[in-house]
């Protein structure tokens, strides 16, 4: 079996409960299979709420869900060794389950779901005018100036088509345990010209920490707390650092189901949070509205997409002559094409379904689903 096909099947397995809960605006599809009534008009503005210190609660049936099917999905998540599952709609929790001695305040490593937060920090920094994604990263990473990496842009790092050196032994064996992740990542070589290959490159993504620090004048963890986590009330979440004090951006966020749901809801609302534009709406569109490059149709700016075409997974790298569109599949076949996901090792998932006004969030160390958020 090819790596591509293996990843697609894995994606289907990881998102089974998400696909079942997907809200559809039509008369058939995943939303109807979940027992949710079609939502073709969207919720009236007065029905949309934002969580304060606590989430509002609502009855699942009254909000359009089939309670029996939600319970069945929760049973599936429990069997898969999940820690939690949260379902929300229109800013209200309609279902919440915890297992394995966890509760709403239990935080855990969300692994590569962190990447979508890193992307968002870049979008906020761009809105502040301190960087532009079309800038060469070498404008901020002095060691790359005058080297084969001098033309790698910030957008290339966000799109995973930077062409920077990639090796599973480095990405999964050395980088996570390095005392100075930034130094290791910056010091790797350039394997191919930017824009010609795609690889799920943890080390390349980690170099965004240097970019953000130089552009904003602040470490990324502090920037995240001030500009993203704090403003949307992610009180049980924090970015972590390596022993040298570098913020870990390819993984490392510690978070809870409810906090992850807040992040999903923020994107569901085009970056707006209760009257404040926390993330520019045009950044939400740029990061999640379509492929950010022509090689992997399933990837935006550090977000996974459900667009049909060529789907390449974390262990796949491809040359430009194998560009997207030749393989008509999806990350989660049958789910809406405009869905997008933050995905982390072990089934940490945030899934957003903008076309049907729903978002879902999952976060588990071993299994498939955790939090789920719907508009």
Beta strand ranges found along the chain (DSSP E): 56-57, 84-89, 92-98, 108-109, 197-198, 254-255, 272-273, 276-277, 304-305, 318-319, 340-344, 348-353, 358-362, 371-374
**What value does the mean pLDDT of the chain take?**
83
Q: Is the pLDDT of residue 29 over 70?
A: no
Tens digits of residue pLDDT in 68-123: 998 998 898 888 888 888 888 888 999 999 999 999 999 999 999 999 999 999 99
Question: What is the rounded average pLDDT of the residues 330-351?
Answer: 88
319 confidence band (pLDDT: 50, 70, 90):
low
Tens digits of residue pLDDT in 36-79: 333 333 566 667 899 999 999 999 999 888 999 989 988 988 88
> In sequence order, what DSSP letters do the residues of 67-132 get, joined into one string?
HHHHHHHHHHHHHTT-SEEEEEETTEEEEEEE-TT--TT--EE-GGGHHHHHHHHHHHHHHTTS--
Residue 35: what pLDDT? 35
Rg for the chain, CA atoms, rounded: 19
Q: How far apart are CA 131 and CA 114, in angstroms?
A: 21
Q: Are 31 and 24 in contact (CB under 8 A)?
A: yes
Residue 43: what pLDDT? 61
Partners of 88 in the beta sheet? 93, 373
Question: What is the rounded average pLDDT of the residues 299-307?
Answer: 96
Q: How far apart are CA 349 and CA 18, in angstroms?
A: 9
Domains in the chain (CATH in brackets) are 3-111+218-374 (3.40.710.10)
Q: Report the range of poorest mean pLDDT among 238-242, 303-307, 370-374.
A: 370-374
Residue 309: what pLDDT? 94
Using DSSP bridges, classify how beta strands 340-344 and 348-353 pair: parallel, antiparallel or unpaired. Answer: antiparallel
Q: Report the range of poorest mean pLDDT among 6-10, 243-247, 360-364.
A: 6-10
A 10 A CB-CB count for 44 gives 8
Residue 5: what pLDDT? 37
Question: What is the rounded average pLDDT of the residues 281-305?
Answer: 97
For tokens 């070589």, name the residue.
189
Q: How far apart are CA 346 and CA 366, in angstroms?
A: 4
Return the axis-axis angle of helices 114-127 and 281-288, rounded to nearest 10°.
Answer: 140
Using DSSP bridges, classify how beta strands 276-277 and 92-98 pair: parallel, antiparallel or unpaired. Answer: unpaired
* pTM across the whole model: 0.86
Residue 334: what pLDDT? 84
13 confidence band (pLDDT: 50, 70, 90):
very low
375 confidence band (pLDDT: 50, 70, 90):
low
21 closest CA partner among 304, 361, 367: 361
A 10 A CB-CB count for 75 gives 12
């Amino acid at each position: 079996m090819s790596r591509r096909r293996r990843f697609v099947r894995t994606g289907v397995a990881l998102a089974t409960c998400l696909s079942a809960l997907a809200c559809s605006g039509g008369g058939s599809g995943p939303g109807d299979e979940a027992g949710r009534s079609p939502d073709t008009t969207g919720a009236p503005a007065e029905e949309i709420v934002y969580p304060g210190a606590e989430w509002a609660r609502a009855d699942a049936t009254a909000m359009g869900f089939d309670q029996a099917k939600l319970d069945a999905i929760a049973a599936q998540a429990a069997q898969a060794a999940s820690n939690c599952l949260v379902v929300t709609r229109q800013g209200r929790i309609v279902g919440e389950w915890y297992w394995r001695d966890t509760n709403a305040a239990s935080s855990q490593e969300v692994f590569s779901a962190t990447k979508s937060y890193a992307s968002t920090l870049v979008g906020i920094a761009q809105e502040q005018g301190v960087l532009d994604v079309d800038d060469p990263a070498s404008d901020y990473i002095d060691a790359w100036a005058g080297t084969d990496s001098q033309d790698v842009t910030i957008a290339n790092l966000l799109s995973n088509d930077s062409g920077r050196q990639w090796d599973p032994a480095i990405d999964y064996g050395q980088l996570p345990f390095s005392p100075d992740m930034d130094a290791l990542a910056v010091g790797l070589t350039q394997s191919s010209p930017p824009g010609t290959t795609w690889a799920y490159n943890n080390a390349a993504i980690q170099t965004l920490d240097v970019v953000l620090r130089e552009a904003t004048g602040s470490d990324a963890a502090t920037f995240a707390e001030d500009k993203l986590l704090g403003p949307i009330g992610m009180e049980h979440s924090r970015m972590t650092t390596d022993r040298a004090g570098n913020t870990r951006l390819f993984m490392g966020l510690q978070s809870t189901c409810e906090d992850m749901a807040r992040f999903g809801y923020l994107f569901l609302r085009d970056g707006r949070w209760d009257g404040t534009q926390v993330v520019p709406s045009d950044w939400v569109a740029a990061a999640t509205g379509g492929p950010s490059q022509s090689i992997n149709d399933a990837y935006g700016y550090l977000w996974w997409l459900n667009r049909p075409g060529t789907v390449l997974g974390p262990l796949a790298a491809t040359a430009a002559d194998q560009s997207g569109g030749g393989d008509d599949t999806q990350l989660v076949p049958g789910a809406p094409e405009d869905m997008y996901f933050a995905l982390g090792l072990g089934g940490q998932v945030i899934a957003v379904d903008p076309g049907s006004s729903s978002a879902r969030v999952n976060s588990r160390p071993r299994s498939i689903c955790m939090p789920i958020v719907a508009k």
